[in-house]
Amino acid sequence: MNEFSLLLKPSPSAHRRLSPAHAPSSSSLQPCNGCNRSSAIFLLSPSSSLSLEAEAKSEEAMLLSRSTRPILSPFLRKPKPSRLPKPFSSASASASALTPPTPRSPATTAHVPEDPTPLFLRPPTHPVPAPSLAAFRRRAAALVPPNAPHLHRHLRWLLADASSSTANPDPAVHLLRAPLDELEALWLRHVRDRRPFQYVVGNEHWRDLVVAVRDGVLIPRPETEAVVDMVGSVEGFGDGWWADLGTGSGAIAVAVARMLGPRGRVFATDVSEVAVEVARLNVERYGMQDKVEIRHGSWFEPLEDVKGKLMGVISNPPYIPTDDLPGLQPEVGWHEPKLALDGGKDGLDHLLHLCEGLSSALKPGGFFVFETNGDKQSEFLADFISTKWSSSFCNVEAVLDFADIKRFVRGYRR
């Protein structure tokens, strides 16, 4: 049976209890005008077990989450000991998939002894007989609840990323980048613990890049792609010096560097050591060492030497208000680094700090763009900058993202 028909197979009935968290990501495409933001799908599912009590709670949680923030606390458990789950048989697998998800903080995740090399970059040195791989595919697919079809897609991509990219000389044996039991464990953690798929395979397809990521580094978001286009529309951008502050995986820095001319440079800073490491990896992977300089440190601090010489400053700093952190979608709240998300009380701590430093960092006529938490933050910042420093900046405006949320603030230094 091929992969396609497998996808179409009715799923085992054992999965009829669905975690609302796995509700199909409302797959309707909405036109850019007239948007519907009421359907926040991701909320903490207290349980997907079969017990009646859990069912009732689950519904309650869903109701609650519609009006207020999703709840987490009653179901928070002590983090599990970081032992890799055993490979599962299909019968017990169903059961284990239905046990309540275990919230994990980044700290616990870090304990898991795992090769820091992203899966998709490891050498394909693990021979696996075709039937074993097929059996794994079946077991893994059986764990997918019928209302989480995106997990089928993830399974397909996981197998693609874990397989040797060159043609297989022997179709009876596949060469994988990890032993099968490790893949089983990874898959289980993805389905059950809501560990982001991008951490599982170690990459995110972002713009035309395959950006390497790992635990401890923010997974670049699709909204952020627009920042690169904005840079590209600045007159003479190709020969300028640019700063990407809080570069994380280095996604923005690499994408911008690839558009630059021979004299263009990007200085990318981050205070997180993991981020610096991963950003270096991505810069190397795209051969941008001559264009991108990664510097370890806080915001503008490592950039004293280029002060006043920058054609542009780009940043996607942490902007989520601290109070909103517990309500985040599990993939984000349990697994991504708080350092990359937490923007302080109003979410504006870092953004305001960046605004303060802007005018001395930019050269006259220089450009800046920041990503924000959306509408209110952008409006506030645009207003703030043009009022407080009206003599220093012009053309300051909030810019919409593809969901019609005012996601960015941009402007020019006079």
Partner 1 sequence: MASRLLTRSTAAVLLSHLRSRAPNPTHHILPHGTAMSSLLGPTHGLPATARSCPLREPARWFSSPAPVVEAPRTADGMTVDAIADKGWTILAEAESDWRSHAAAVAQSIKLIKKRLKWKWLLERSKQLAVVLERPDLWEDPVFAGKVSREQGELMGKIKSVNQFEQELMEHIDMLRLAREEGDNELETESMRALADMRRNAKEKELNALLSGDNDSYPCFIEVQAGAGGIESMDWAAMVMNMYRSWAQRRGYAVTVVEEMPGEVAGIKRATIKVDGDYAFGYAKSEIGVHRLVRISPFDSGKRRHTSFAAVAVIPILGDASSRYQINDSDLRIERFRSGGPGGQHANTTESAVRIVHIPTGTTATCQNERSQHMNKASAMAVLQSRLDQLEITRQAQMNAEHTQSLSEISWGNQIRSYVLHPYRMVKDLRTNYEVSDPDSVLEGDLDDFIFNFLSSSLDKDDGNV
Which residues contribute to the site for partner 1 (CB under 8 A)? 2, 4-5, 7-10, 25-27, 29-32, 35-42, 146, 149-150, 153-154, 157, 196-198, 205-208, 218-219, 221-225, 316, 318-320, 324, 328-329, 331-332, 336, 340-341, 371-374, 401-403, 405, 407
* Contact flag: residue 256 with ligand SAM (CB under 6 A): no
Q: Which of partner 1, ligand SAM, none is residue 42 near (CB under 5 to 8 Å by kind)? A: partner 1
Question: Which of ligand SAM, partner 1, none binds 130 (CB below 5-8 Å, type-dependent)?
Answer: none
Instruction: Tell me which of 141, 218, 231, 243 binds ligand SAM, using CB under 6 A.
Output: 218
Helices (H), 44-146: 52-67, 90-98, 106-111, 130-142
What are the DSSP calls for 47-59, one per residue?
---S-HHHHHHHH
Q: Report the distance separating Cα 34 and Cα 32, nearest Å.
A: 6
Nearer to ligand SAM, 271 or 352 (CB): 271
Of 224, 282, 359, 378, the residue at the interface with ligand SAM (CB under 6 A) is: 224
Among 203, 249, 282, 329, binds ligand SAM (CB under 6 A): 249
CA 123 to chain centre: 24
Minimum CB separation of residue 301 from ligand SAM in Å reads: 8
**Binding ligand SAM by CB under 6 A: which of 48, 108, 272, 329?**
272
As measured in angstroms, the least distance from the Cβ of 2 to partner 1 is: 7
Shortest approach of partner 1 to residue 318 CB, angstroms?
7
End-to-end CA separation in angstroms for the chain: 65
Q: How far is the CB of 310 from ligand SAM (least distance, A)?
A: 16
Q: Could you give the angle at the alpha carbon of 107 between the alpha carbons of 157 and 301, nearest 5°? A: 95
Relative orientation angle of helices 130-142 and 180-193, to the nearest 10 degrees: 10
Tell me which residue of 324, 70, 371 sits closest to 226, measured CA to CA. 371
Write the DSSP string, 181-203. HHHHHHHHHHHHH---HHHHHTE
d(CA 315, CA 301): 14
Point out which residues bind ligand SAM (CB under 6 A): 218, 220, 224, 246-249, 251-252, 269-272, 275, 298-299, 316-318, 339-340
